[in-house]
């Protein structure tokens, strides 16, 4: 590299670094303005509520008018629908009144509007004031160090921790409402909706997705490894999207029990019919033993009631025993009574998703990457391996982004401008005390 090229690269890196600093400043200012806007909306909403309290009429339609009138005023001024304006007013009243610590963090520019939306969404089933206060105090520490997407799972766990009734009690009530509904639509179409336990719903959707991709690969004339599956016949010209194939497979399996249009399926329902859904459920040992009602974690997406978790563990062909750090919640060891692919299982339990900052692509859709390339002497060991999705795997190898392992599964990414970003293993979502400690530790580290 010539001296001029080196100087140009240095100048570009400096300009990019300055641009990042400017973006951070802009985002903080935007968050502060959005929080101030929420405070104004909340005040307008409280004026409407005060008007409602002074009304003598008990007719519900009459009592809606003050709030609807205020929402219409906001909608007209901001060129919004009045329903959108009403939703914004409701959220503003909730965050400023029920979540003072989250609102203070937002007002200081430490969290974004999307973070606040995730906090409100996870806490929408909390009705007790003390429970909301506990949740508010704990969730803000995580919100300040995580992306909105990753915050979602943590917030759900922290809201669950604050619930006065256990998940098992609430699941038993909710499970009694499971149903399938049919809604007729226009143009000869109908919508078939099922309300199911989360484990079953995610398993069904995941299996349909795998089958749709396998069918598209077969019709394109390739296997999962890029090899040709049929050489004499031309690939099938199937113009359907993955969504369309998923819907067709859904109908086929419910009506016939075997996916149709399946060139791989034989009399033994092989091929697509043999594809099994991948659903990772993490269950605390005390829950398995029946000595606690701590919920299980469905791949960081939602919580699973203890009774369903015990049934899943009891019927599983094998299951991993995961040991976590008592303070950070980081997965430090995994074993199985019948050892098989030990290292892969440990990494899957530790990482849960792609380990680039903010990415939530689940591990079964990621590659296991050597942090230090094997070709350069990097060992095939948990301290040199991490899951990366294809997008971030390519970024690591094809750009000036770099990554180092700092121990306990902590990755330190360095951008082309020299900025460092730390990504910590998610731990387990049903240990909110550990997550809170991790969030506070990360905030102190960032401040220092």
- Structure confidence by residue, pLDDT tens digits, 255-290: 776 555 444 444 444 455 555 556 677 777 777 767
* Confidence category of residue 84, pLDDT binned at 50, 70, 90: very high
* Confidence category of residue 440, pLDDT binned at 50, 70, 90: very low
Nearest by Cα to 425 from 336, 308, 315, 346: 346
Neighbouring-strand partners of residue 188:
none
DSSP state letters, 402-429:
EEEE-STT-EEEE-TTS-EEEE-----T
For all residues of the chain together, what is the average pLDDT? Answer: 81
Q: What is the DSSP letter of 145?
A: T
* Confidence category of residue 82, pLDDT binned at 50, 70, 90: confident
- Structure confidence by residue, pLDDT tens digits, 88-116: 999 999 999 999 999 999 999 999 999 99
Q: What is the DSSP letter of 191?
A: E
Q: Take residue 266 and report the two structure tokens written for it.
A: 């034989």
Helix, strand, coil share of the chain (percent; to 5): 55, 10, 35
Cβ distance 321 to 327 under 8 Å? no
pLDDT at residue 234 in the model: 56
In the chain, the percentage of residues whose pLDDT exceeds 90 is 35
Cβ distance 123 to 155 under 8 Å? yes
- Structure confidence by residue, pLDDT tens digits, 298-355: 766 667 788 877 777 766 665 665 666 666 667 766 644 333 477 888 899 999 999 9
Question: Residues 175-184: contacts with CB within 8 Å, 24+ apart?
Answer: 175/305
Residue 25 has pLDDT above 80, yes or no: yes
Determine the Cα–Cα distance for residues 209 and 222; give it in Å rounded to an integer. 17
With tokens 């509520």, the residue in question is 49
Determine the Cα–Cα distance for residues 18 and 11; give it in Å rounded to an integer. 11
* Secondary structure of 319-367 in HEC code, one letter for each residue: CCEEEECCCCCCEEEEECCCCCCHHHHHHHHHHCECCCCCCCCEHHHCE
Helix (H) or strand (E) holding 296: strand 296-298
Q: Take residue 326 and report the two structure tokens written for it.
A: 């008592």
Output the CA–CA distances (angstroms, integers) from residue 188 to 63, 181, 272, 305, in the order listed. Answer: 40, 17, 29, 39
Phi, psi of 381, deg, nearest 5: -145, 155
Determine the Cα–Cα distance for residues 151 and 110; give it in Å rounded to an integer. 14
Cβ distance 110 to 144 under 8 Å? yes
Cβ distance 324 to 333 under 8 Å? no
Burial 231-247 (b: 16+ CB within 10 A, else e): eeeeeeeeeeeeeebbe
Residue 235 has pLDDT above 80, yes or no: no
Half-sphere exposure of residue 69, counting CA atoms within 13 Å on the CB side? 12
Sequence-distant (≥ 6) Cβ neighbours of residue 68 within 8 angstroms: 82, 86
pLDDT at residue 436 in the model: 45
pLDDT at residue 274 in the model: 54
Average pLDDT over residues 236-251: 81
Q: Take residue 323 and report the two structure tokens written for it.
A: 């040991």
Q: What is the DSSP letter of 14?
A: H
pLDDT at residue 439 in the model: 45
Determine the Cα–Cα distance for residues 209 and 206; give it in Å rounded to an integer. 5
Determine the Cα–Cα distance for residues 179 and 49; give it in Å rounded to an integer. 37
Q: What is the DSSP letter of 384?
A: G
Burial 163-185 (b: 16+ CB within 10 A, else e): beebbbeebeeeeeeeeeeeeee
Residue 201 has pLDDT above 60, yes or no: yes
């Amino acid at each position: 590299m010539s001296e001029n090229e080196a100087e140009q690269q240095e100048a570009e890196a400096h300009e990019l670094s300055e641009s990042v600093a400017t973006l951070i400043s802009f985002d903080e200012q935007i968050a502060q303005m959005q929080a101030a806007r929420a405070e104004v909306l909340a005040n307008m909403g409280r004026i409407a509520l005060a008007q409602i309290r002074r009304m003598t009429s008990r007719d519900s339609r009459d009592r809606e008018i003050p709030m609807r009138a205020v929402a219409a005023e906001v909608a007209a001024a901001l060129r919004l629908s009045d329903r959108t304006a009403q939703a914004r007013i409701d959220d503003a009243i909730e965050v400023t009144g029920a979540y003072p610590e989250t609102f203070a963090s937002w007002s200081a520019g430490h969290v974004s509007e999307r973070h606040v939306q995730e906090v409100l969404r996870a806490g929408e089933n909390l009705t007790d004031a003390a429970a909301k206060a506990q949740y508010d105090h704990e969730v803000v520490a995580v919100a300040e160090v995580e992306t909105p997407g990753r915050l979602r799972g943590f917030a759900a766990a922290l809201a669950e921790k604050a619930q006065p009734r256990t998940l098992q009690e609430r699941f038993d009530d909710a499970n009694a409402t499971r149903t399938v509904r049919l809604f007729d639509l226009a143009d000869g179409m109908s919508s078939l909706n099922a309300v199911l336990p989360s484990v079953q719903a995610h398993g069904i959707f995941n299996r349909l997705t795998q089958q749709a991709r396998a069918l598209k690969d077969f019709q394109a004339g390739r296997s999962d490894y890029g090899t040709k599956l049929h050489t004499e016949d031309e690939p099938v010209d199937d113009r359907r999207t993955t969504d369309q194939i998923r819907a067709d497979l859904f109908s086929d399996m419910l009506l016939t029990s075997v996916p149709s249009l399946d060139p791989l399926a034989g009399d033994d329902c092989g091929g697509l019919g043999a594809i099994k859904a991948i659903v990772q459920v993490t269950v605390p040992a005390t829950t398995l033993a029946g000595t606690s009602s701590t919920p299980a974690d469905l791949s960081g997406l939602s919580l699973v009631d203890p009774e369903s978790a015990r049934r899943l563990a009891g019927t599983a062909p094998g299951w991993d025993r995961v040991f976590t750090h008592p303070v950070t919640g980081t997965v430090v060891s995994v074993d199985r009574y019948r050892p098989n692919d030990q290292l892969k299982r440990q990494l899957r339990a530790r990482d849960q998703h792609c380990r680039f900052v903010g990415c939530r692509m689940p591990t079964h859709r990621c590659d296991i990457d050597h942090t230090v390339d094997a070709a350069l002497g990097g060992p095939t060991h948990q301290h040199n391996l991490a899951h990366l999705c294809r997008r971030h795997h390519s970024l690591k190898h094809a750009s000036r982004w770099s990554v180092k392992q700092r121990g306990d599964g902590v990755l330190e990414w360095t951008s082309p401008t020299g900025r460092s970003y730390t990504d910590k293993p998610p731990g387990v979502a049903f240990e909110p005390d550990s997550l809170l400690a991790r969030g506070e530790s990360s905030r102190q580290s960032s401040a220092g």
